[in-house]
C-alpha cells in the first residue's frame, strides 16, 4: 500500500463516518495538523485517496435527494464534490 501523508491520513479519518466536502472538514484538518490547510489541499487529498480506492467521490442529486458515485477524474467539474471512505480504507 502507498504511504499516506499526514494530510491524507487526517482527511481519510474525517471521511470515515459520513459524507464530507473539503469545506466541511478544512478547519478540523487544520486543527489536527496544527497548521492552516486550504480547501484546495483537502480536495487534492480527497482526489488522491479516491484514486487509491480509499474514498469514493460522489455528487449530491438534490432532486432525488441522494448521493451518486462518480469517478475521481470528474471531481474538478463538480460544483461541490462529496467523499466518503470505502470499506477498503478500514
28-80 confidence digits (pLDDT tens): 999 999 999 999 999 999 999 999 999 999 999 999 999 999 999 999 899 99
| Residue 36 resides in a domain | yes
* Residue 1 scores a pLDDT above 60: no
Residue 32 and residue 67: Cα distance in Å, rounded?
27
How many structural domains compose the chain?
1
Supply the range of the domain harboring residue 84. Answer: 6-89
| Residue 53 resides in a domain | yes
| Residue 81 resides in a domain | yes
pLDDT reported for residue 90: 61
| Residue 31 resides in a domain | yes
Query: What pTM was computed for the model?
Result: 0.91
- List CB contacts of 89: < 8 A, sequence separation 6 or more: 12, 16, 49, 54, 55
For the stretch 12-36, pLDDT in tens is: 999 998 999 999 999 999 999 999 9
| Residue 1 resides in a domain | no
pLDDT reported for residue 85: 96
- Give the three cell numbers for residue 17: 463516518
Q: In this structure, what CATH number is given to the domain that contains residue 63?
A: 1.10.10.10
Amino acid at each position: 500500500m502507498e504511504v499516506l501523508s499526514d494530510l491524507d491520513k487526517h482527511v481519510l479519518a474525517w471521511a470515515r463516518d459520513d459524507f464530507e466536502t473539503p469545506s466541511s472538514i478544512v478547519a478540523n484538518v487544520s486543527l489536527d495538523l496544527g497548521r492552516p490547510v486550504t480547501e484546495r489541499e483537502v480536495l487534492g487529498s480527497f482526489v488522491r485517496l479516491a484514486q487509491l480506492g480509499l474514498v469514493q467521490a460522489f455528487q449530491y442529486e438534490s432532486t432525488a435527494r441522494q448521493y451518486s458515485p462518480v469517478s475521481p477524474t470528474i471531481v474538478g467539474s463538480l460544483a461541490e464534490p462529496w467523499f466518503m471512505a470505502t470499506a477498503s480504507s478500514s
